Chains A and B, each alone.
Chain A
Amino acid sequence: MKEINLTVNGKKHRIKIDENMRLIDLLREKLNLLGTKEGCGEGECGACSIIMDGEVVTSCLVMAFQAESADIITIEGLEKEDGTLHPIQQAFLDEGATQCGFCTPGMILSAKALLDKNPRPTRVEIKEGISGNLCRCTGYNKIVDAIEKAAILLEKGGN
């Protein structure tokens, strides 16, 4: 057992963990943040993508202890307290960018990390930005549309 400090979705936590615990298990099982999905367990599908200190990581490949002092954003951290969706979430909804939904949280977080760094990406840059996130349902076009739309919404002064 080991104790770590980390910030998740703006909230500070001090948590006891096993040395061999993965970050995804910490999020899901210790913090009950079930929006982070496990699709492959080897960092290939991106369903477990989260933002850690500004970078997208696949939380199945990060050990929990590596998150010491980290600042983490999961899908649960995107909505405002009053339930207002983040512009990326709203755009995914409006553009039909989600189908089965299992890749969606990770996809949205990859999109956020991309737009945080590059507020007006081209379609090719968007595709590169989400190329680590597999989706088997949508064929990606509507996801790219949604991220383009979200970029415009964010520029107009969303959150």
Chain B
Amino acid sequence: MKKRGKGVGIIFYGTGYGNGFPDISKAEAELQDDGKVAIYVGATEVGQGAKTVMTQIAAEALGLKVEDIIFINEDTMVTPDSGTAAASRQSYNTGNAIKKAAEALKALIVDKAVDKMKLNTNIGLKVENGNVFVKTFPSRKISFKEIAEDYKENPLKVEEEFIAQTTEMDEETGQGAPYWPYTFSACGVEIEVDTETGIVEVIDGVLAQDVGKALNPKLVEGQMEGGFAMGMGYGIFENLNLKKGKMKNNSFTNYIIPTALDMPDIKNVIVEDPESTAPYGAKGIGEPVMIPVAPAILNAIHDAIGVRITETPVTPDKILKALK
């Protein structure tokens, strides 16, 4: 017989290193000969989309197009330390550092533009599409490229850093403000349990993810779907079968991760509530997207078969044993 059940999981997640550990990201912005801007950070693109959203932040802050940002993050020789690509911290931390660096470079460019256009103030100037111009008289303008010509030998370059707020907790009471910001998320699933085989199939899902502000909604959705799949694998598929320190399941032949056939077409809901300390309000989401999924599935299994399974992974043998 097949039995259906629904379950929910909700979570909060503190992003960043935490507990007072210095959480520092550095970023450099440099005006290029051709008027484009190079951003140097040591933040790794692991597939999460760091290069893209960080390019967007720089472009937004400088009034440039994405194509006008040269993003360099692959080499310790030329990039500053931006911390690790973990703790869902890169969009927030390095994003903030990039925004600061881009804004500082923009201010520098404006200063140089004031000199070069022989103006006596930077008030009433606007920066758009690689030009600095007088707002009320737009033909009085100068391009980033023209400004760069004066600095061919020694390009205009700024470095900025961002340090996230985190305090150490008390050793005896655990009291303190370990993480910031927190990201929230809720997941609902519908599952079907085959009581003959013990197989659990996730047939529907909805994931509502607080993001602060989505820097790139499509990339956020990609994280949400990927997180859902990984959470599902955690709850019901993946099993190293550890015996006396040995992983019996040590390849994709027996360590089963979800395939396309296992993954339902989930509904993604991006919930925005901008965070004031974040770059354009964006909080980290890389980890929270997977966290509520497995608990929602476990609750749905109980809803379906009336038995609560307290040990993961909920593989078919555990279901069959529970049903006896």
Chain B residues near A142: list those with CB within 8 A. Answer: 218, 221-222, 225
Chain A residues near B224: list those with CB within 8 A. Answer: 139
- State whether the Cβ of B260 lies closer than 8 Å to any Cβ in chain A: yes
A144 to B219, CA, bound (A): 16
A139 to B260, CA, bound (A): 7
Is there contact, CB below 8 Å, between B261 and A99?
no
8-31 of chain A: CB within 8 A of chain B: none
Chain B residues near A141: list those with CB within 8 A. Answer: 225, 263, 265-266
- State whether the Cβ of B230 lies closer than 8 Å to any Cβ in chain A: yes
- State whether the Cβ of A138 lies closer than 8 Å to any Cβ in chain B: yes
Q: Taking A99-B48, A99-B49 as contacts, is the C-beta distance between A140 and B253 under 8 angstroms? A: no
Main secondary structure of the interface of A (DSSP, over half): loop
- State whether the Cβ of A158 lies closer than 8 Å to any Cβ in chain B: no
- State whether the Cβ of A42 lies closer than 8 Å to any Cβ in chain B: yes
The interface bits of chain A over 134-151 (1 if a CB of B lies within 8 angstroms of the residue's CB, else 0) are 111111111110000000
Chain A residues near B252: list those with CB within 8 A. Answer: 39-40, 42, 44-45, 134
Is there contact, CB below 8 Å, between A44 and B253?
yes
The interface bits of chain A over 104-140 (1 if a CB of B lies within 8 angstroms of the residue's CB, else 0) are 0000000000000000000100111011111111111
B218, B257, B265: the one within 8 Å of A96 (CB): B218
Is there contact, CB below 8 Å, between A40 and B251?
yes
Chain A residues near B229: list those with CB within 8 A. Answer: 136, 138-140
The interface bits of chain B over 47-61 (1 if a CB of A lies within 8 angstroms of the residue's CB, else 0) are 111000000000000
A126, A127, A138, A144: the one within 8 Å of B222 (CB): A138
A136 to B224, CA, bound (A): 12
Main secondary structure of the interface of B (DSSP, over half): loop
- State whether the Cβ of A77 lies closer than 8 Å to any Cβ in chain B: no
Number of chain A interface residues as a range: 20 to 34
CB-CB nearest in chain A for B225: A139
A44, A127, A135: the one within 8 Å of B261 (CB): A127
CB-CB nearest in chain B for A130: B260
10-56 of chain B: CB within 8 A of chain A: 46-49
A39 to B252, CA, bound (A): 10
A132 to B227, CA, bound (A): 20
Is there contact, CB below 8 Å, between B222 and A96?
yes
**Could you pull out 17 A-B pairs where Cβ atoms are within 8 angstroms?**
A40-B252, A44-B251, A44-B252, A127-B260, A127-B263, A131-B261, A133-B260, A137-B226, A138-B222, A138-B225, A139-B222, A139-B258, A140-B259, A141-B263, A142-B218, A142-B222, A144-B260
Chain A residues in contact with chain B, CB under 8 A?
Answer: 39-40, 42, 44-45, 95-96, 99-101, 123, 126-128, 130-144
Known: A99-B49, A128-B261, A131-B259. 7 other contacts (CB 8 A): A42-B252, A95-B218, A100-B46, A133-B260, A138-B225, A138-B226, A139-B263
